[in-house]
Amino acid sequence: MASSTSAPPTLQVRDLTIRYRTPTGTITALDSISLAIPKGGALGLVGESGSGKSTVGLALMGLLPSEAQVAGGQLLLDGSDLLALDPEARRRMRGPKLALVFQDPFTALNPSLRVGAQIGEGLVHHRGISVSAGLDAARRLLAEVGISDPAAVADAYPHQLSGGMRQRALIASALACEPELLILDEPTTALDVTIEAQILDLLEGLRAKRGLSLLFISHNLGVVRRVCDRIAVIYAARVVEQGPTAAVFARPAHPYTKGLLAAIPRLSERRGRLAAIPGRLPDLAAPPPGCIFAARCPFAEPACIAERMPMREDGERAARCRRLDAVGAAPWPVAAPAPHAARAEAGAPIVSARGLAKTFHLRRGLAALRWQGGRIVHRPVFVRALDGVDLDVAPGEVLGLVGESGCGKTTLGRTLLRLVEPSAGTIRIDGRDVTGLDARAMLPVRRMAQIVFQNPDSSLNPRKTVRELIGRPLVRFGLAAPGDVAARVAALLDLVQLPASYAERYAHQMSGGEKQRVGIARAIATEPKFLVCDEPVSALDVSVQASIVNLLADLRDRLAVAYVFISHDISVVAHLADRIAVMYRGRIVETGPTAAVLAPPYHPYTAALLSAVPDVDAPKRDRIRLKGEIAAPTGSQGCVFESRCPRRIGDVCATAMPPTRAPAPGHAIACHLETEELGH
């Protein structure tokens, strides 16, 4: 296929096939895929979890597990076939020629080594420099990736850094030996929008400065739209579409690409339901004989099921579909919006907080570190994670809670449920003051107020079946007799759109989306009136994310349950929330109806968050660039945002609590700027 540039390719993947041996048989993880990246180019590799994206990166690095078998193909880096090299030669290529940035820096970085030592290790090994010279180089690299205090960070351990800093350190480590190809495997998945935007700025700058070639593996299509020149869409081990990113996004050819793009929530399009792709990936141990996507494709016809389709090329674009001409202009079908449940009569909120505060005594972490006398010293500090929060949630209402990591969102959600004890303030649930209740008195409150955790892998007991996981709250609160539990579990599984047979499964036997549905089923088993949803879709593919968001909307309408929906993805929040509250350093700086918060006048922090949201339709928007990262709140007499605010108007911002502006009924902005100024 023709390249988008005349530059010779840094990487060519030719007909790569990889299979895995499993206890139940052999599965094909990659099925004769071909890719190319020119020097200085950036290729986005997108698709659902399990499609084979990460296997490409591991194959390039020579890090495939022992059960993997390369059944054919070539991996050409600057013309040399990596697969033909012996293990020692492959090892020497890592660092100087190609490097990998893993998805989770917390597991990729060694927790027992200081960050600077880990970054300099590659230079010591590949370049033969001294350890002290490696540490000096590590500090320079940390400065290059935007760390404001590289000496302190180099001397810290990974657990003492924020998520954004760990990701920058991992990128610095990958860049240490000046590789020609940088492979990034979901590098921004767990980051909030402002830190994500900073990482993308960093990558664009390094690419221009160093002439890096990038293989960007992600399920975030907005990020790929911004960073990558070309895109390859992979589904169930096969590449189904390739081409220039702008052209593919403007007019996707393959039905699967259409489905992925349709499932993306957009700030500009608030609609009742997202367009999820039905079904799930096929069994790769026995793939269908025809089109791999036919079972989930709304445009499929009988011939699609029977005949395998080769790639059809058209200039710089290619797609694997026999109905390209008929499907090309057809939109992905979108379900009609579900009717919204009638709101309860105006009255007492289901949840109310007044003056809610929480202070932690921080002995570890970056906030407790100081660089003094050429070394790191620990100075424990008191951190106010919540600083006088007032909050109301009406029955059946969805309140979206947004803000950067570390702003206090999760602490607020857990404090509302008394999973974290408040330091001050009051909490009322269903009209009852629950602030000082003991464990026994809290039992009926636990039944009516539940939580859906961010990570189902850590919140679902791996030794329990789904029947036991969902049945436990039914037994605990006396909601079902022992003989009725199985039927109630089956009904709850049906409510979250899982087959009854899943009752006998364990967590490791389900996909991420299925595990999240089990977590939701467990939370609603007690028939709660209030749910805290803590980042329930942050690590999910766009299609699975869409199905979970639709499920939560359906449950709200069917059960009249109220949510506090915590997320750093404002686009998702916009589709589900009735109101949005914006948090920064323990305080709510803006709150109001969703449509009002998403349109001017904004709080300056809200404006910065919205400007950083990746947009698949407009990748080169002007962005408000905030300096530094969110700091641990230690109490402030003035505006908590003043140190980073691009519209700071003087000392008053630091010394006086900002007044609350009310641009419209129900819309409140805490800022010293007048409403008219906030609208510009």
What are 505's two structure tokens?
């499964």
CA distance 488 to 480: 8
Domain that holds residue 20: 1-97+181-337
Phi, psi dihedral angles at 242 (to 5 degrees):
-140, 155
Boundary-marking domain end, from 337, 365, 390: 337
Boundary-marking domain end, from 135, 163, 178: 178
Chain centroid offset of residue 578 CA: 22
Of 603, 587, 581, which is closest to residue 636 (Cα–Cα)? Answer: 587
Q: Which amino acid is at 244?
A: P
Of 467, 469, 504, 505, which is closest to residue 487 (Cα–Cα)? Answer: 467
The answer to whether residues 325 and 226 belong to one domain is yes
Mean pLDDT of all residues in the chain? Answer: 87
Residue count of the chain: 680
Query: What sections of 251-384 are H helices per DSSP?
Result: 255-262, 302-306, 324-327
Burial profile 434-472: b = 16 or more Cβ within 10 angstroms, e = fewer: bbebeeeeeeebbbbbbbbbbbbeebbeeeebbbebbbe
Report if residue 130 sits inside a domain: yes
pLDDT tens digits along 303-343: 888 888 888 888 889 999 988 888 878 888 876 655 555 55
Name the helix (H) or strand (E) containing 376.
strand 375-378
Q: 616 falls in which pLDDT band (50, 70, 90)?
A: confident
Q: C-alpha angle with apex 620: 619 to 621, nearest 5 degrees?
A: 100
Residue 542 clears pLDDT 80, i.e. is over it: yes
Q: How many CA atoms lie within 13 A of 566 on its CB side?
A: 22
The answer to whether residues 186 and 306 belong to one domain is yes
Tally of domains in the chain: 2
Torsion of CA 80, 42, 188, 116, to 10 degrees: 50
The answer to whether residues 307 and 188 belong to one domain is yes
The answer to whether residues 251 and 302 belong to one domain is yes
Specify whether the CB–CB gap between 489 and 533 falls below 8 A: no
Contacts of 283 (CB under 8 A, 6+ apart): none
Contacts of 209 (CB under 8 A, 6+ apart): none
pLDDT tens digits along 104-134: 777 788 989 999 999 998 888 888 889 999 9
The answer to whether residues 66 and 188 belong to one domain is yes
CA distance 179 to 374: 31
Please state the pTM of the whole predicted model. 0.85
Out of 14-23, 342-351, 669-678, pick the least confident. Answer: 342-351
Report if residue 124 sits inside a domain: yes
Report if residue 244 sits inside a domain: yes
The answer to whether residues 4 and 152 belong to one domain is no
The answer to whether residues 171 and 206 belong to one domain is no
Decide the pairing of beta strands 213-217 and 181-185. Answer: parallel
Q: Which pLDDT does position 315 carry in this prediction?
A: 84
Boundary-marking domain end, from 277, 311, 337: 337
Mean pLDDT of the 527-531 span: 94
Q: Which pLDDT does position 324 carry in this prediction?
A: 83
Q: Which pLDDT does position 2 carry in this prediction?
A: 39
**Which CATH number fits the domain that encloses residue 81?**
3.40.50.300
The answer to whether residues 77 and 50 belong to one domain is yes
Q: How many CA atoms lie within 13 A of 141 on its CB side?
A: 30
The answer to whether residues 49 and 22 belong to one domain is yes
Of 361, 425, 357, which is closest to residue 386 (Cα–Cα)? Answer: 357
Place of tokens 């969902």: 470
CA distance 223 to 40: 18
The answer to whether residues 171 and 195 belong to one domain is no
DSSP letters along 500-523, please?
GGGGG--GGGS-HHHHHHHHHHHH
The answer to whether residues 254 and 274 belong to one domain is yes
pLDDT tens digits along 156-173: 888 877 767 888 888 889
Q: 1 falls in which pLDDT band (50, 70, 90)?
A: very low
The answer to whether residues 77 and 60 belong to one domain is yes
